[in-house]
Amino acid sequence: MPMRPMKFLSSSVGTKVLIAVTGLAFFLFLILHLAGNLLIFVGPEAFNSYSHKLVSNPLLLVAEAGLAAIFLLHVVKAVVNFTANRHARPVGYAMKRWARHTSRKSLASTTMIVSGTIIFGFLILHLITFKFGTYYEDPTHHYRDLHRLVLEKFSHPGLVGFYVLCMTIIGLHLRHGLASAFQSLGIEHPQYNRLIRLGGVVLALLIAAGFAAIPIWVYFVGTR
Amino acid sequence: MTKMTVTLRVWRQAGPSARGRFVEYAAEGVSPDMSFLEMLDVINEGLIRKGEDPIAFDSDCREGICGTCGFLVDGVAHGPDRGTTVCQLYMRRFTDGATITVEPWRARAFPVIKDLVVDRSAFDRIIQAGGYISVNVGAAPDAHAIPVPKSVADNAMDAAQCIGCGACVAACKNASAALFVAAKITHLNLLPHGEPEQHKRVVAMVDQADTAGFGSCSNEGECEAVCPKEIKLSTIARMNRQYARACWFDR
């Protein structure tokens, strides 16, 4: 039998595999992003010099293009998958209850398309706020003073609340997404299924809490 | 023995293209030891006596092993009990005076024929696509002639329990047939007689399910929770692995 990669990618199984791989790639990006962000707790110098090293690297454009491609693939495949799945049940149930028992259905799993849409919107606002936000220059080092912008933005309680809410939604998306990606990829064994599911929940919680800690800390402590 | 009275809200639909609606029926003098289907039989006898059209529903063995019966009871496929078909659901499971909603499986690939009866021939076409072994394997060989490890036999046997009732499709928010297809693939691919055709089989069956209009797996496991044979979600993970291997590496 010949290889059939294109057929695979358009099949129901392959679609979920693509969503899983791109989702996991974005999860790895989030870990790196968080690690960089946490430098804000070290001090303005560490935070700004890290951000300067990042943006002055010519490879950043390649990385950004790659991230954008992965993100778009994830979104496009997920939306196509969602509409196809809607199509699979044209007449809905008058009464439908969760089966419970062994089911893994959760608030997170039922709202992936909603949380995903919110995250998409958040991402655009997030890039406008920081990446394309006001350019302050550090008078001593003559590079961008991103630290000042972060402090300025997170002095507004509205924006702090918005960010914490969005991080909660990202945590919810990851809570289903992480373990679900492993199942889609067929990485599954009774010996470590519990670990995968528990690990997914814990990592989702840690990432959401880590990101949310920054606006909260800046608002209550950082600006003093 | 105390008798029960329940009110049923049943989906009535005269034909495939007719408009359906819920109709309420009072079931009086119901014994708690009746199965759900026996209770429907009593209602139907009353309807027939009045000259009305009885409620159409599928059933055959009525002992939970044939896979013919099935509908949603109060929003859950096969009703609230674990690992049972609706013919093995007993009226003692409900409280006296309860109102119970009864609805057919709903999926594009399972069109309603009448009332609670749906056309599940989409499952037959998935089996025709690859749910068989092409070679004539002859009579039962000596027990030691074809070695099958116990754990493999157990996994294949667990998957082979699938009775094709369609509850997995009905329960899935995506109307996915993944659990059914995965059960058949696991059952046949794990055993020595099915192994030579494993790649051809997984590709043909998954593709046929896609063509039939079933959705993709949601990974939620509602299927596993309602499955009367408790087929495991791990069969779907195995199917995903085998489908990828067949598409990318088979030669």
- The nearest CA of chain B is from the CA of A128 a distance in Å of 33
pLDDT at res. B138 = 80
On whether both B79 and B125 belong to a single domain, the answer is: no
Residue of A nearest to B101 (CA): A95
Task: Decide which of B67 and A3 is more confident.
Answer: B67
* Number of Cβ within a 10 Å radius of residue A118: 17
Question: For chain A, what are the domain ranges?
Answer: 12-85+106-222
Residue in A192, A168, A184 with CA at minimum distance from that of residue A114: A168
B108 contact residues in A (CB cutoff 8 A): 87-90
On whether both B92 and B144 belong to a single domain, the answer is: no
- Can you tell me the mean pLDDT for A71-87? 97
Q: Which two tokens stand for residue B180?
A: 């059914």
On whether both B130 and B97 belong to a single domain, the answer is: no
Nearest to B248 among A8, A15, A183 (CB): A8
Show which of B103, B130, B162 is a domain's final residue: B103
Q: Per-residue confidence at B164, pLDDT binned at 50, 70, 90? A: very high
On whether both B140 and B96 belong to a single domain, the answer is: no
Q: Which two tokens stand for residue B135?
A: 């070679």
Dump pLDDT digits (tens) for B193-245: 999 999 999 999 999 999 999 999 999 999 999 999 999 999 999 999 999 99
pTM given for the model: 0.95
> 3-state DSSP call for residue A25?
helix
> How many domains does chain B fold into?
2
Do A99 and B243 count as a contact with CB atoms less than 8 A apart? Answer: no
B102: exposed, middle or buried (C-beta count within 10 Å: 0-12, 13-18, 19+)?
Answer: buried
Do A1 and B203 count as a contact with CB atoms less than 8 A apart? Answer: yes
pLDDT at res. B137 = 73
B128, part of any domain: yes
Give the CATH number of the domain where residue B193 resides: 1.10.1060.10
B22 contact residues in A (CB cutoff 8 A): 94
Do A103 and B203 count as a contact with CB atoms less than 8 A apart? Answer: no
From CA B226, how far away is CA A172, in angstroms rounded?
25
B109, part of any domain: no
From CA B156, how far away is CA B136, in angstroms rounded?
20
> What are the start-end ranges of the H helices in A88-220?
107-110, 112-126, 146-153, 157-184, 193-217
pLDDT at res. A2 = 64
Query: Which of the following CATH numbers is that of domain A12-85+106-222: 1.20.1300.10, 3.40.50.800, 1.10.4080.10, 3.40.50.2020?
Result: 1.20.1300.10
Task: Output phi, psi for B118, to 5 deg.
Answer: -120, 155
DSSP B249: H
B114, part of any domain: no
Dump pLDDT digits (tens) for B119-157: 999 999 999 999 999 988 788 888 888 899 999 999 999
B115, part of any domain: no
B136, part of any domain: yes
Q: Per-residue confidence at B1, pLDDT binned at 50, 70, 90? A: low
CB B107 within 8 A of CB B175: yes
On whether both B92 and B128 belong to a single domain, the answer is: no
Task: Output phi, psi for B30, to 5 deg.
Answer: -80, 130
The ipTM estimated for the assembled molecules is 0.93
Residue in A101, A186, A12 with CA at minimum distance from that of residue B236: A186
Q: Which two tokens stand for residue B122?
A: 């989409």
pLDDT greater than 80 at residue A159: yes
pLDDT greater than 70 at residue B95: yes
Give the CA distances from residue A213 to residues A37, A183, A223, B112, in Å, rounded to whole numbers and listed in that order.
Answer: 10, 31, 14, 53
Do B206 and A85 count as a contact with CB atoms less than 8 A apart? Answer: no
DSSP H or E segment with residue B9: strand B4-12
- Can you tell me the mean pLDDT for A85-90? 97
pLDDT greater than 70 at residue A223: no
B108, part of any domain: no
| Maximum CA extent, chain A | 68
Do B224 and A88 count as a contact with CB atoms less than 8 A apart? Answer: no
B110, part of any domain: no
Domain of residue B128, residue span: 121-249
pLDDT at res. B135 = 83
Task: Decide which of A5 and B246 is more confident.
Answer: B246
B54, part of any domain: yes
DSSP B65: S
pLDDT at res. B251 = 77
CB A109 within 8 A of CB A176: yes
Residue in B50, B132, B62 with CA at minimum distance from that of residue B90: B62
From CA B210, how far away is CA B206, in angstroms rounded?
6
Give the CATH number of the domain where residue B10 resides: 3.10.20.30
